[in-house]
């Protein structure tokens, strides 16, 4: 029983309330009981007092000698003496003295007082003796009345004592209950609140001291267990966060490495120094002992040379067995071989060497493979650029050969024929004519050679077509008295390099023809846009083009048509209605 009370705050609170309620019930029951037990005592006291008064009335009537009235008084005295209220009060009283006093009064009434009254009424007794006997009887009645009063007062005092005792017990129970409420409820609850507040601020090391068997004690045990579990979970979560942070840092470094690699590999030109810097960054982030980039040659795909290297030389490189690395990728004796390739071909390998303790993770290997592909793309682009430069150089040489063949070679052939004629002819007049033509041919060949040299030395310098055309117009204006104007209506149009070169060459060829053959005083160059077409117009106010043109190789129309064809453009050369020549170049605008 006590174990259950000790283990339950609810039972303890219920017990305290039960005790208080029980004491209150006892107080009420005792009050009701004492009130019921004292019922009629006041009436009994009054009746007892009236006996004393009735005795005095009887004495008074005897002295007045009224016989009839004395009998009535005697009957009233006996009725009052035997009244149930008085007899029950005496009977229910716990006082033996009261019962004895009541018995004495009755016995004395019947044994002596009635005879005394009768003798005194017959004048057989003296007045003094009668009064003495009556006073003695009244004294007995007074004693009985006092006992009745004392009995009533004792019940009232008993009720007061019971009420005081119950109040005292109630106060004790209340004090004990308040003390237990403070020690067993408020203090543990306050401690739990403080601990919960500390836990809410992240302090999971807090513990409560109250871990008893009652409700708050079990709550304290649960709180301590919860705080311990949360502390463990928090520590584990911190470890996981630290681990994930470390992984994210590594992957962020890998992404940064990929971004850095893209920057290194996209800037031109990509040199061996660039690859060395890139390998240094890869080695720092991946914690590699050494990293080597080997590439193959175009002549022999089974041999490779070290394009860049960071750290020590891999042992396999001392064996001069390049074909083994090139043909078999993956791990070989703590050495990772990664193919350096693009979508077209393989350009070499990336050899990564790490310590035996530090192994590459799958995502790190994947990053290295991606870097291998980036490096392969960079090497492939570099080699294609070099090849394109070679082809461009060959094309330019072919253009020079074609220009020389179509201009200077033909002129020189013509001169050769004329010289041969000098040896065959004997007529001096004809010799003079041939010498004149020979001189003109030599002058023309020399002029064309200078023009070709000037043409081949033209540089765009990255300034664009508008700047190059302005310089060309200024150049031709300075070379002659011819007035040449430029009207460029589409300066912001983004021409390609091929378009800029060919447009500039066509304009120069046309102006050169105007300068040497048109006999003009004015020429104009205009560039405009019409719908989806770009139109270049070169016109002058010279003599125009005759229907029968002699020595057409002097005008270079063939070269202009070839350049127009390379632009997929349409070239028109026509006479103007007011005189002069108009050259129109028309091609589609880029979308």
For the chain, how big is the Rg over CA atoms in Å? 71
Same structural domain, 154 and 13? yes
pLDDT at 524: 92
Same structural domain, 18 and 160? yes
Span of 250-264, 403-417, 475-489 with lowest mean pLDDT: 403-417
pLDDT in tens, 269-328: 677 777 777 778 777 777 777 788 877 755 455 555 566 777 777 666 665 556 666 656
Same structural domain, 108 and 252? no
Domain termination residue (choose one: 129, 155, 188): 188
**Residue 455 belongs to some domain of the structure:** no
Domain termination residue (choose one: 365, 383, 401): 383
Instruction: Let me know: does 456 contact 400? Beta carbons within 8 Å.
Output: yes
Residue 430 and residue 76: Cα distance in Å, rounded?
208
Instruction: Let me know: does 258 contact 373? Beta carbons within 8 Å.
Output: no
Same structural domain, 279 and 219? no
pLDDT at 456: 57
Domain termination residue (choose one: 339, 367, 383): 383
Got the DSSP string for 318-383?
Answer: GGT-HHHHHH--EESSSEEEEEEE-SS-EEEEEEEE--SSSPPPHHHHHHHHHHHHHHHHHHHHHH
Residue 99 and residue 515: Cα distance in Å, rounded?
172
- How many CB atoms lie under 10 A from the CB of residue 539? 21
Same structural domain, 298 and 368? yes
Same structural domain, 129 and 213? no
**In percent, how much of the chain has pLDDT > 90?**
4
**Residue 154 belongs to some domain of the structure:** yes
Same structural domain, 161 and 48? yes
Span of 34-48, 137-151, 167-181, 272-286 with lowest mean pLDDT: 34-48
Same structural domain, 171 and 318? no
Residue 195 and residue 305: Cα distance in Å, rounded?
71
Residue 585 banded pLDDT, cuts 50, 70, 90: very high
Residue 356 banded pLDDT, cuts 50, 70, 90: low
The answer, yes or no, to whether the previous bond of 269 is cis (omega within 30 of 0) is yes
The CATH number linked to 15 is: 1.20.120.960
pLDDT in tens, 12-56: 778 888 888 888 888 888 877 776 666 666 777 787 788 878 787
Indicate whether 397 pLDDT > 60: no
**Residue 48 belongs to some domain of the structure:** yes
Q: Domain containing 588: what range?
A: 461-591
Average pLDDT over residues 244-269: 76
Match 């050169």 to its residue by tokens.
512
Indicate whether 256 pLDDT > 80: no
Same structural domain, 477 and 513? yes
The CATH number linked to 568 is: 3.30.565.10
Residue 432 and residue 463: Cα distance in Å, rounded?
51
Handedness of CA 81, 83, 85, 88 (dihedral sign): positive
**Residue 415 belongs to some domain of the structure:** no
Indicate whether 330 pLDDT > 80: no
Distances (CA, A) of 388 to 385, 394, 399: 5, 10, 16
**Burial of 567: CB neighbours in 10 Å, binned 0-12, 13-18, 19+:** buried
Residue 215 and residue 4: Cα distance in Å, rounded?
12
Average pLDDT over residues 5-15: 75
Residue 58 and residue 66: Cα distance in Å, rounded?
10
pLDDT at 333: 62
Same structural domain, 218 and 171? no
**In percent, how much of the chain has pLDDT > 70?**
73
Looking at the DSSP bridge assignments, the partners of residue 452 are none
Most confident of 284-293, 401-410, 552-561: 284-293
**Residue 388 belongs to some domain of the structure:** no
Q: Which of 31, 26, 16, 28 is nearest to 171 (CA)?
A: 16
Q: Are strands 522-530 and 330-331 parallel, antiparallel or unpaired?
A: unpaired
Distances (CA, A) of 331 to 149, 328, 335, 336, 360: 121, 9, 5, 4, 10
**Burial of 301: CB neighbours in 10 Å, binned 0-12, 13-18, 19+:** middle
Handedness of CA 145, 150, 151, 157 (dihedral sign): positive
pLDDT at 469: 86
Most confident of 40-49, 203-212, 353-362: 203-212
Same structural domain, 40 and 153? yes
Got the DSSP string for 123-159?
Answer: T-S-HHHHHHHHHHHHHHHHHHHHHHHHHHHHHHHHH
Residue 338 and residue 376: Cα distance in Å, rounded?
11
- How many CB atoms lie under 10 A from the CB of residue 326? 20
Q: In what order do the strands lie in the sheet with 570-575?
A: 483-488, 522-530, 533-540, 581-588, 570-575
Indicate whether 522 pLDDT > 80: yes
pLDDT at 555: 47
Say what the pTM is: 0.39
**Residue 221 belongs to some domain of the structure:** yes
The CATH number linked to 305 is: 3.30.450.40
Instruction: Let me know: does 512 contact 551? Beta carbons within 8 Å.
Output: no
**Burial of 547: CB neighbours in 10 Å, binned 0-12, 13-18, 19+:** exposed
For 287, the 3-state DSSP assignment is coil
User: Element (H or E) spanning 196, and its range?
Assistant: helix 187-200
**Residue 196 belongs to some domain of the structure:** no
Please state the domain count of the chain. Answer: 4
Residue 526 banded pLDDT, cuts 50, 70, 90: very high
Q: In what order do the strands lie in the sheet with 335-341?
A: 304-310, 290-296, 346-353, 335-341, 330-331
Same structural domain, 228 and 311? no
**Residue 300 belongs to some domain of the structure:** yes
Average pLDDT over residues 231-241: 86
Indicate whether 550 pLDDT > 50: no
More confident residue, 507 or 258: 507
Handedness of CA 18, 23, 24, 29 (dihedral sign): positive
- Helix, strand and coil in the chain, % to nearest 5: 70, 10, 20
Q: Which of 13, 18, 3, 14 is nearest to 184 (CA)?
A: 13
Q: Which two tokens stand for residue 393?
A: 């150089």
Mean pLDDT of the chain: 76
pLDDT in tens, 59-97: 877 777 665 577 788 888 888 888 887 787 777 777 788
Instruction: Let me know: does 219 contact 185? Beta carbons within 8 Å.
Output: no
């Amino acid at each position: 029983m006590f174990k259950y009370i000790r283990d339950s705050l609810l039972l303890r609170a219920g017990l305290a309330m039960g005790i208080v309620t029980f004491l209150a019930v006892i107080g009420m029951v005792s009050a009701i009981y004492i009130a019921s037990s004292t019922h009629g005592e006041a009436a009994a006291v009054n009746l007892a007092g009236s006996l004393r008064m009735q005795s005095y009335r009887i004495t008074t009537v005897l002295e007045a000698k009224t016989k009839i009235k004395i009998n009535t008084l005697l009957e009233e005295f006996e009725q009052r003496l035997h009244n149930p209220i008085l007899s029950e009060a005496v009977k229910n009283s716990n006082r033996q003295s009261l019962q004895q006093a009541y018995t004495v009064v009755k016995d004395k009434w019947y044994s002596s007082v009635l005879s005394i009254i009768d003798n005194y009424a017959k004048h057989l007794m003296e007045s003094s003796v009668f009064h003495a006997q009556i006073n003695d009887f009244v004294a007995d009645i007074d004693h009985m009345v006092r006992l009745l009063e004392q009995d009533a007062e004792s019940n009232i005092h008993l009720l007061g004592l019971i009420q005081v005792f119950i109040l005292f017990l109630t106060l004790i129970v209340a004090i004990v209950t308040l003390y237990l409420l403070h020690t067993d409820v408020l203090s543990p609850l306050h401690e739990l609140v403080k601990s919960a507040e500390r836990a809410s601020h992240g302090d999971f090391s807090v513990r409560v001291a109250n871990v008893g068997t009652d409700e708050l004690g079990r709550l304290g045990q649960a709180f301590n267990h919860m705080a311990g579990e949360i502390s463990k979970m928090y520590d584990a979560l911190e470890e996981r966060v630290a681990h994930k942070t470390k992984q994210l840092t590594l992957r962020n470094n890998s992404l940064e490495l990929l971004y850095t690699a893209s920057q290194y590999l996209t800037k031109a030109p990509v040199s061996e120094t660039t690859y060395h810097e890139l390998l240094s960054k890869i080695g720092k982030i991946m914690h590699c002992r050494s990293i080597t980039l080997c590439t193959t040659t175009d002549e022999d795909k089974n041999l490779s040379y070290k394009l860049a290297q960071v750290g020590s030389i891999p042992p396999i490189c001392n064996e001069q067995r390049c074909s083994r690395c090139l043909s078999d990728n993956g791990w070989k004796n703590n050495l990772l071989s990664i193919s350096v390739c693009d979508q077209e071909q393989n350009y070499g390998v990336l050899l990564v060497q790490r310590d035996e303790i530090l192994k590459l993770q799958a995502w790190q290997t994947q990053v290295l493979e991606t870097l291998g592909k980036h490096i392969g793309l960079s090497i492939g682009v570099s080699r294609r650029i070099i090849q394109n430069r070679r082809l461009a150089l060959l094309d330019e040489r072919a253009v020079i050969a074609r220009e020389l063949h179509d201009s200077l070679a033909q002129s020189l052939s013509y001169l050769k024929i004329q010289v041969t004629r000098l040896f065959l002819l004997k007529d001096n007049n004809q010799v003079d004519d041939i010498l004149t033509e020979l001189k003109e041919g030599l002058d023309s060949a020399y002029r064309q050679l200078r023009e070709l040299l000037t043409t081949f030395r033209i540089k765009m310098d990255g300034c664009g077509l508008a700047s190059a055309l302005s310089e060309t117009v200024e150049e031709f204006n300075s070379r002659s008295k011819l007035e040449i104007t430029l009207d460029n209506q589409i300066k912001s149009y983004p021409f390609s390099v091929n378009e800029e070169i060919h447009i500039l060459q066509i304009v120069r060829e046309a102006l050169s023809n105007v300068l040497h053959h048109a006999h003009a005083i004015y020429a104009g160059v205009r560039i405009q846009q019409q719908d989806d077409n770009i139109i270049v117009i070169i016109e002058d106010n010279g003599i125009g083009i005759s229907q029968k043109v002699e020595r057409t190789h002097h005008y270079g129309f063939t070269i202009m048509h070839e350049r127009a064809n390379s632009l997929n453009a349409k070239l028109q050369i026509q006479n103007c209605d007011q005189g002069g020549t108009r050259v129109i170049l028309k091609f589609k605008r880029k979308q």
